[in-house]
Amino acid sequence: MGVDVVSTRRAIFLDRDGVLNRPVERDGVSGPPASLAELELLPGVTDACARLRDAGYLLVIVTNQPDVRRGTMVQADVEAVNAAVLAAVAADDVRTCFHDDGDGCGCRKPRPGMLRAAAEEWNIDLTASYMVGDRWKDVEAGQAAGCTTVLIERAEPYAGSTAAWRRADSLTTAAAIILGGDGEGEARAR
C-alpha cells in the first residue's frame, strides 16, 4: 500500500502598491493607480520576481483596495491594474480585498485571510513563506499567517506594533535578503 505524500510549496506574498508598482500621489496622499495609464512598475521589480520564481517560490500578490467600497474607484479598473501587474511580474495569483476597515472582513490586511486562502488553494507552507509589504498592515498580516516578513521602507514611518524580520529599500533588496544575498538567507528570526 502506497503512502500519499503531500508536497507543500513556498511562496512570496507581495503587496501591490509601493512594492510592485509606484503609488500615485493625489492631493498629498499616496494611493493606487486609478487606471492602466497611471500604472508604473518600480525599478527592478520584474527581475526580482524572476529571481524569486527561479528559486522555486510561488508569487502571490495580496492587495487591499478599499477605494472600491468607498466609491472612489471602479472594481473593473482595479482588476485591470491587477491583471497588468500579474502579467508583468509573472505572478501565480492575485488576491484582492475590496472592503474598508469598518467592514470587519477576514481578508483585509492586517488580517491574514488572503494569505490563508491562497495557502489552502496552492498548498503553500506559510511557515516557509514570506510576506513583503510596505505598510504595517502587510507585516501584521504576514505574521498572523505565520510567514516571515520583510518591510519595504517608504517615506512614511512604520506605524505597526510588531517589527518586521528585515527591512529593505526595494523589492530587489528584499529578494537578495530572502535568497541569501546578505549572508543570512533562510536563517530567519521572527
pLDDT above 70 covers a percentage of the chain that reads 87
pLDDT score recorded for residue 164: 86
pLDDT score recorded for residue 185: 45
* Size (the chain), residues: 190
- In the three-class reduction of DSSP (H, G, I as helix; E, B as strand; rest coil), residue 59 is classed as strand
pLDDT score recorded for residue 190: 35
Check if 15 is active-site: yes
How many helices and strands in the chain, by DSSP H and E? 6, 8
Which of these is catalytic: 17, 77, 134, 138? Answer: 17
pTM of the model: 0.89
Which segments of the chain have a pLDDT < 70?
1-7, 155-162, 181-190
**Domains of the chain and CATH, by start:** 11-178 (3.40.50.1000)
Which of these is catalytic: 4, 15, 47, 77? Answer: 15
Please provide the average confidence, as pLDDT, over all residues in the chain: 89
pLDDT score recorded for residue 79: 96
pLDDT score recorded for residue 7: 57
Looking at residue 113, its amino acid is G
